[in-house]
Structures are given as structure tokens and as C-alpha cells.
Amino acid sequence: MTLHTARLSIHDICKRYEAANVVDWVSMDIQAGQVVGLIGENGAGKSSLLNILTGVVRPDSGEMRLDGHLYNPRDCADAARKGISRVFQEQALIPNLRVYENLLLSHEARFTRFGQIIEQRRMIEFAQDIADQAGLMIDVRRPTSEYSFSKRQLIEIVRACVIPVRVLGIAQPVILLDEPTASLDRADEETFFKLVAAMRDTASFIFVSHRLSEVLTVSDSIIVMKDGHVVAKLAADDADEKRLHGLMVGRERQADYYHESLQAVAGPRFALQARALGGHGYVGIDLDLHEGEIFGIGGLLDSGKSELGKGLVGVTPPTSGKVCLYEGPWRNPDMRNSLASGVGYIPAERLAEGIILDFPMSWNMSISSGDLFSTRAGIWKDRHEREIAERMIGELNVRGATPSGACGKLSGGNQQKVVLARWLCRSVRILVLDNPTRGVDAGAKEEIYTIMRQLTAQGVAIVLITDELLELIGMSNRIAIMQRGRITALVDAPPTSKPTEVEMVKLMLPTGNVNREERAA
Amino acid sequence: MNTSDVRSDDDAVRPRTSPIDRISASLRTGMWLPVGVVVLLFAFFSIATPSFFSVRNATGILGQASTLLLACLGSSFVVLMGSIDLSVGAIVLLVGSATVIALNLADLGALALVFAILLGTGLGAINGTIFAFGRIPSFVVTLGTLSVFTGAAWQLLEGRALRFDSSVFESLAIGQLIPKVPNIALFALVAWAIMAWVGARTRFGRYMYAIGGGEAVARTAGLPVRRYQIYAFALSGAMAGLAGALATARLGAAGPTLGQDLLLNTLAAIVVGGTSLAGGVGGVHRTLVGVLIIALLDNGLNLMGVNQYTQMVVKGAVVVLAVLISQDRGRQLIIK
């Protein structure tokens, strides 16, 4: 049995949220000293799996064993004590502390006399030794914020890799690396790969990355996830990028589901044009959106596509560039003007930005339409609001909703319909949708697609920003792919010749060399 | 739409609630708890002190409660919006002092009320503008202006109580259009009714709930959040200004201690009435009940001969208790 030899073994792990299985019957064994590459497109369940392994999220069912013993971490710290540590995508260092303080954070007790008096010199020497051995080339006494973003990421990686062995005294820790190289410059990247190579005998790694070439180079074996389950486990020697692309995608796209036959032909008029738009996370964006068109925007999580959506509408106004609505004047987008010109926006983070759960359905619907639901003197038209809310509930089939019922009781899909109603109750002509079907069950998804098709038939123009490849391909007339804040590809997607998922994934993933040079520059 | 659909949909998402959760939830949103407390306090003090249950005492309570109610009405919107206004008492003091000086300079009569409201609005707008554009937590802004306004008022008063001589102005507060009911109580009740209506039936009111319930949602939906934040603080200032003028009219003078007890009392009344410090829950209409509770406590404890220091202890405890009960522990309490 592998159970006796595997360092970490997980068996039939499931995690379900509301509408979808994010982790679905996942099993895998990690041997001591093994580097396992974990790949999959956005939302395949990689991060959720790491969250389960580090105790951030509890699985609904399944079993995890560490050296054959049951392993149920309470939280990240508990997981680290037991030997599983993780490097986060976001920086988790405290910038105003010195490097050594960050490296040994939460382990100060080992460097104290009487439990309180910190022996600073011993800490510094110890931390400097760790840094030198890892090839960091830094002075650990300097404040962390003095080092570059890339260097700080590397410090974090070193902390996750070395502390378990050197401080906690764990033999063979399992280290989870979530996109570790995404923000490393070339020199630091080399240091990183050397570190992994040097630690092979003393640790195991799970390496999550979108850079397939790196995964292929560094891993012993590769696990491919899709829609929450493991679709392939293969030895790195048996794999190449092309094969991995195919494994990551390869779902059956049903033309009916996306009502592709109803895909409207884009009208001649421009609904929205943007030139040289730049802001936090995106730069130099030019785009032309036609009436009746669905313009898809795809890209990895850090591609800047969500930020662009906010910029187009003016939720977060861009810092440079101009937008023109319906061939009118060019201006910097702002939310007031967008509302007045018939532009609507649905954010990706429904609970944080889209809907107030304590509020009645009608309030959530009317929140953007003070102009329609109150008189010039500012008196609210309650009856009018209720009537429109009732009509919207009927038209959009918002199940379980009444105008005065709180939205918290509705399912994700029906909540999203309420957010849609916010824009459909005014005569909206342009809609920017950021992941409109996230956390929405299959039935409601299809209803939302139907509504989108109906809207485009009436000439409404839609920008569809989405992490779901099939939705992107199935719904869009044209697709823009973003990488690192720029549109790097523009693909036509007429119903007769839709691009394939593999083509899309290839366009989204960074192609090693080009990117490296860009970052080095 | 068939019924089985509705059921499956509901079952899938409705969180399972224990009876304790449900009771706590109904305490949080229900009206019966604060009203019950009013009835209990009333009964308790009627039995405990013979002088409590009398027309004369009722008139006294009305007079005391009116200033508090007026001062609370505007800042209830601020709390509803998820912010806090600590400067209410200081605005009452500054506006009261300025009004006395204005009365002594020119024979304004009832026009002094307009002056007071305008001055209060201006002071509140300063709070709101610093808060909305400086992106500083409102408790810091208003803690600062609390000191600024108080200092300015003491400068004006030169540390003394200033009297005024205007029977017209005085009668605004202590005259009795209705026998046994001081006019200040009429002002307070009418103002309360108007503000309750504003909260429930106007765009301003709706936006207050929206900003308090989910500021990010409101922003993303395109509400002019900052502008309405300034409006709310300006309204809080306006009502504090009105309270300051009428309190001065009632007392016949403005002294350095005017409005001193309002810092704790306004917050206490708003929170005890059932408006959540987290924002979005409650409303101005509830503040009336909160004011009654605080006023009854003040009056009853006085009549029972409980000393000032003990009263402070009791009131402080009541506020903390009210927040403990009303707080939704699933949510983080953040005052912006």
C-alpha cells in the first residue's frame, strides 16, 4: 500500500459551495522528496485544494493522512506545525519589520531568555545564515520594505521552505507553492529553482503554476485538475505542453447551452470605444464595442481584466485615456455619467460589491436608480418601486423572491438575477458583466445567458469578463485576451467557427521568454 | 413557477438557524425590546419613587428629553450610515453660545433659530467634508472637531455663562402652546416626525440605509456616496444647532457645561433605540424610544437620590449592554 510510504496522502476529498463542487473526489499521494506540479485553468480547484491542505477550509468529506496518521489541520499555523507550509500569492510579509523579524515571525519564543527578552543578535545570526544558505544575497537587518517586490516574494518562499526544517525541526516538510514565480524577476527565479533543487532530499513540494514549461522542468510528476477533479496524473517525462493544454480543458461545449444560434450580429454603431485606457492593473487599452455585440475578455487572474471592467464604467476611474459612449464626446469615465448614459455594471464579488443581503429585493434593485424611483424633490416612490420589483421578479423568474423579502434568503443565482434587475429596470444600453455566473447554479446560468441574448437582440452591447472558458467562447462575438494588463490577442468568435479552449488557454498563459524579458526590462 | 422549485431553492441556501440565533436576531431587529424596557422603567420608577408618576415630573422629563431628542435626530442618520458623530454636544454648545451673543448684538427674536440651524449645518458640513474627502475615520474627525468646537465656544463665553434678554426667543422653548407641554417638546416631536418620514420616504433616507448596509455595494451601484455622507453630517449639525438654540432658550443662558452630557447620551439613545453601530439597521424613528429610555433613567435615578457618579456608571453599562445585544456577531463592527 502506498499509505505507508507516502508523506502526504489525501483520499476522496470533496468540498462543495452552494452551486458547485469546487473540489470533487480528489485523491493524491505525495512521496517524500517529490515535486508535484499542479495545473489547471482558473477555477479548476487548485487554490481550494491548497486551502484544504492548510486548514483554511475544511473539506465536506474525505480523509487526509500525513505519514499514515490522520491529518486535520485547524488553521495555517497548525498545518505548519504539522509540517505543511504554504507560500501565498499575495505578499504576507510585514513591510515595516526588518527581514529577520519577518523570517522568524511567530518563532521569537525560541530566541528569548525568560520567555520575553529577545536575544536579537542570535536571531539576526540565525536569519542571516538561513538567507545566505538559500542564496538570498540580502542583509537581514534591513527593513523589508527596502527590498524589491521580487526579493520580498523570494524572502517569503525561503521562509516557507526553510523555517519548518531549521526552526520547527520537521523532517521532510511538504511545501505548497502557489504561483511562486509570478512576481519573481529572472535572477530571483534562478535562486528559487536552485533552492528547490537543493531541498529535494529534505522536503516535498506541490508546485502550482500557469507556466507549463517551468512545471515540466521542475516537477517529478504532474497532476491536472479541471472543474474540481483530478483529470490526469502523469510523470513529467511523459508530458509536454501541448498534451497538458489538452488535459486542462477538453470539456464538451454545448452550443445550445450558450444559445449560440441566437448570437446577434453586431450593429454598425459603436456603443463604447476606449483609447489608451490605463489604470491600476491595466495599460494602453484600445477597444471598440458595437451595438448588439458581446465582447468577451479573458485572461488569468492577474491579467487586469476585472480592473479594466471597473475602469470602463468608472467605478474606479482610469488614470489615463478616454472613453466615448455612442459616438458622443470623449471623456474620462465616471460612474455618474455612465449611469446617465445607460451603462450598467455587475461586479465579480457579488457579496462584497453587488448586493446587500439584509436588504429587500426591491431596495437592491432600485439602488442605482434614484432618478427613476424618487421625485425631483427627493421623495421615494414606494409604490412604483414595488410594482417594478414585482414585474422584474416575474420577468427574470427570481425564484423565492418578493419585493420586500431580504435577498439573503435567495440562492446565488437568484441573487444575481436581482443584481441584473438593477440594470434592466432602467433602459440600459451597455452592460459590463464581470463573471456574471460565478457561484450560480446551472439552471440559473442558462437563464442568465438567455437574458443576455435577449438584450443583445435589442441592441444592448455587453462586455463579458469571465474566468469560465466555455462561457467566454460560447457567448462572445469577439474575444480579447489580456496578459499583464494588456490586450495581447483579439479573436473572432462567430457561431460557425468558435475558437477552441486549447487555443484560448495558449493565448492566456505566459509564453516564458517574452514575459521574462518584459519583466527584466 | 412551481412550488417544489421554491422549496428546493430555499433549502439549498437558507442557513440552519438555532432557536438562540433566532431569538438574538429578533432582539436585534425587533422593536419590542426597547419598548418593553421603557414600560419596565416606567413601572419600576413609579413604584420606587412617589414623585415620579406626576404631571409635574412628566413636564420635566419632556423638557429634558426634548433637547436630547433634537440632538439625536440628525446623528441617527450618521450612525445609520455606518459612521459616528462625536461632535454633537460640542455643536450644541458652540451654536448655543453663538446664538446668545447674536441675540445680544441684534434683536433677532425667533430668527435666532434660523441663525442657529445655519451655523450648525455649516459646522456639520465641515465634519462631513473632512470625513468624505480626507478619508479619515469619522470618529477621529469628530473627536477632533469636538475639541475645536468646544474650545471655540469657551472662547466666546470667556468661561462664563452668558444670559440673553429676549422673551420671544425664550418662549420658543418654555412657552406652552398646549398646557403642561413646553414648546421645545413640540419642536422635538415635530422634528422627529419629519426626520422619521425623511428616513422612510425619501431618497436621502434610502441612501443612508444603502451606504450603511454596504458602502462598497452603494459605490459600485453608482450612488454619490461622498456627497450623501456630507449631507448626513450637515443634517446632524443642523439638528444639533436647533437643539443648541432651543436648549439655550429653555435655560435662559448658555454656559460652559451646555451639551456636556450629550456626547454619551446621544450615542446611548441612538444605540439603545436599536440603530446598529455597524450601519444599515435601525432608523431615526427608533431613536425616540432610545431617548425615552435614557431620559427616564436620568430622571428616575435622580428622583431616587442616586448620585451623579453612580448614574454615570449605570448609563455607561446600559450603552455597552445595548451594543452587546444589538450587535450581529457574525459581522465585523467597523465604524467608518
Domains of chain B: residue spans and CATH: 33-326 (1.10.3470)
Specify whether A207 is located in the same domain as A276: no
Specify whether A102 is located in the same domain as A50: yes
For residue A322, is it within any domain?
yes
For residue B5, give the chain A residue with the closest CA: A399
User: What size, in residues, is chain B?
Assistant: 336
List chain B residues with CB under 8 Å of A412: 13
Run of H or E residues at A208: strand A204-208
Which positions 350-369 of A are in contact with B (Cβ < 8 Å)?
A: 352-356, 358-359, 363, 366-368
| Total count of domains within chain A | 3
Yes or no, beta carbons of A367 and B280 under 8 Å apart: no
Which member of B203, B219, B221 has the closest CB to residue A380?
Answer: B203
Span B136-140, average pLDDT: 94
- A423 close to B (CB below 8 A): no
pLDDT tens for each residue of A72-105: 999 888 898 889 998 876 677 888 999 999 999 8
Which member of A335, A356, A411 has the closest CB to residue B222?
Answer: A335
- Within 10 angstroms of residue A344's Cβ, the number of other Cβ atoms is 24
Yes or no, beta carbons of A414 and B217 under 8 Å apart: no
Yes or no, beta carbons of B280 and A358 under 8 Å apart: yes
Specify whether A91 is located in the same domain as A150: yes
List chain A residues with CB under 8 Å of B1: 397, 399
For residue A311, give the chain B residue with the closest CA: B220
For residue B14, give the chain A residue with the closest CA: A409
CB A129 within 8 A of CB A189: no
CB B81 within 8 A of CB B212: yes
User: What size, in residues, is chain A?
Assistant: 521
pLDDT score for B109: 83
Specify whether A277 is located in the same domain as A377: no
Q: What residues pair up with A223 in beta bridges, in sequence order? A: A38, A233
Rounded to an integer, what distance in angstroms lies between the CA atom of residue A90 and that of residue A84? 18
For residue A173, is it within any domain?
yes
Yes or no, beta carbons of A367 and B10 under 8 Å apart: no
List chain B residues with CB under 8 Å of A373: 203
Nearest CA-CA distance, residue B162 and chain A, Å: 40
Which member of A356, A367, A411 has the closest CB to residue B12?
Answer: A411
Q: What residues pair up with A17 in beta bridges, in sequence order? A: A20
Q: Domain residues for A487?
A: 269-342+428-441+452-521
CB-count exposure of residue B167 (10 Å: 0-12, 13-18, 19+):
exposed
List chain A residues with CB under 8 Å of B213: 356, 358-359
pLDDT score for B316: 87
Residue B191 pLDDT > 50:
yes
pLDDT score for A251: 66
Read off the CATH number of the domain in which A47 is found.
3.40.50.300
Yes or no, beta carbons of B203 and A352 under 8 Å apart: no
Specify whether A170 is located in the same domain as A206: yes
Which positions 160-179 of A are in contact with B (Cβ < 8 Å)?
A: none
pLDDT score for B262: 93
pLDDT score for B245: 96
Run of H or E residues at A487: strand A486-492
* Single-letter amino acid code for the residue at B209: Y
For chain B, what percent of residues have pLDDT higher than 90? 61
| Residue of B2, B6, B8, B9 to mutate when probing chain A, most A C-beta within 10 A | B9
Nearest CA-CA distance, residue B201 and chain A, Å: 5
Which positions 286-345 of A are in contact with B (Cβ < 8 Å)?
A: 315, 335-336, 338-339, 345
Q: Tell me the three state secondary structure of residue A204.
A: strand
Size of interface A-B (CB pairs under 8 A): 87
Specify whether A332 is located in the same domain as A363: no
Which member of A373, A397, A422 has the closest CB to residue B1?
Answer: A397
Yes or no, beta carbons of B222 and A358 under 8 Å apart: no
For residue B212, give the chain A residue with the closest CA: A356
Yes or no, beta carbons of B12 and A18 under 8 Å apart: yes
Nearest CA-CA distance, residue A94 and chain B, Å: 23
Specify whether A88 is located in the same domain as A132: yes
For residue B208, give the chain A residue with the closest CA: A367
* Single-letter amino acid code for the residue at A395: E
Which positions 459-498 of A are in contact with B (Cβ < 8 Å)?
A: none
CB A53 within 8 A of CB A84: yes
List chain A residues with CB under 8 Å of B5: 399
Q: Which three cell numbers stand for residue B334?
A: 467597523
pLDDT score for A281: 92
| Residue in the block written with cell 493522512 | A65
pLDDT score for B3: 36
For residue A446, is it within any domain?
no
Predicted TM-score (pTM) of this structure: 0.82
pLDDT score for B30: 63
Yes or no, beta carbons of A336 and B224 under 8 Å apart: yes
For residue A260, is it within any domain?
no
Yes or no, beta carbons of A339 and B222 under 8 Å apart: yes
pLDDT score for B334: 52
Span B161-184, average pLDDT: 90
Specify whether A91 is located in the same domain as A235: yes
For residue A236, is it within any domain?
yes
For residue A263, is it within any domain?
no
For residue A257, is it within any domain?
no
Nearest CA-CA distance, residue A414 and chain B, Å: 9
Q: Strands, DSSP E only, in B120-266?
A: 162-163, 253-254
- Residue of A315, A324, A210 lying closest to A270 (CA atoms): A324
pLDDT score for B204: 96
For residue A371, give the chain B residue with the closest CA: B203
Specify whether A226 is located in the same domain as A279: no
Residue B10 pLDDT > 60:
no
List chain B residues with CB under 8 Å of A363: 206, 209-210
Yes or no, beta carbons of B220 and A354 under 8 Å apart: yes
pLDDT tens for each residue of B278-330: 889 889 999 999 999 999 998 999 999 999 899 889 888 988 887 787 665 44
Specify whether A332 is located in the same domain as A402: no
For residue A142, is it within any domain?
yes
Q: What is the dihedral angle through the alpha carbons of A185, A188, A190, A193, rounded to the nearest 10 degrees?
A: -110
Nearest CA-CA distance, residue B37 and chain A, Å: 26
For residue B198, give the chain A residue with the closest CA: A379
Specify whether A226 is located in the same domain as A127: yes
List chain B residues with CB under 8 Å of A447: none
| Residue of A358, A362, A420 to mutate when probing chain B, most B C-beta within 10 A | A358
Specify whether A406 is located in the same domain as A433: no
- Contacts of A71-80 with CB under 8 Å at 24 or more apart are A71/A8, A77/A106, A79/A53, A79/A54, A79/A55, A80/A54, A80/A163, A80/A164, A80/A168
- A380 close to B (CB below 8 A): yes
Which residue ranges in chain A fall short of pLDDT 50? 1-4, 513-521
Rounded to an integer, what distance in angstroms lies between the CA atom of residue B316 and that of residue B323? 11
- Within 10 angstroms of residue A441's Cβ, the number of other Cβ atoms is 17
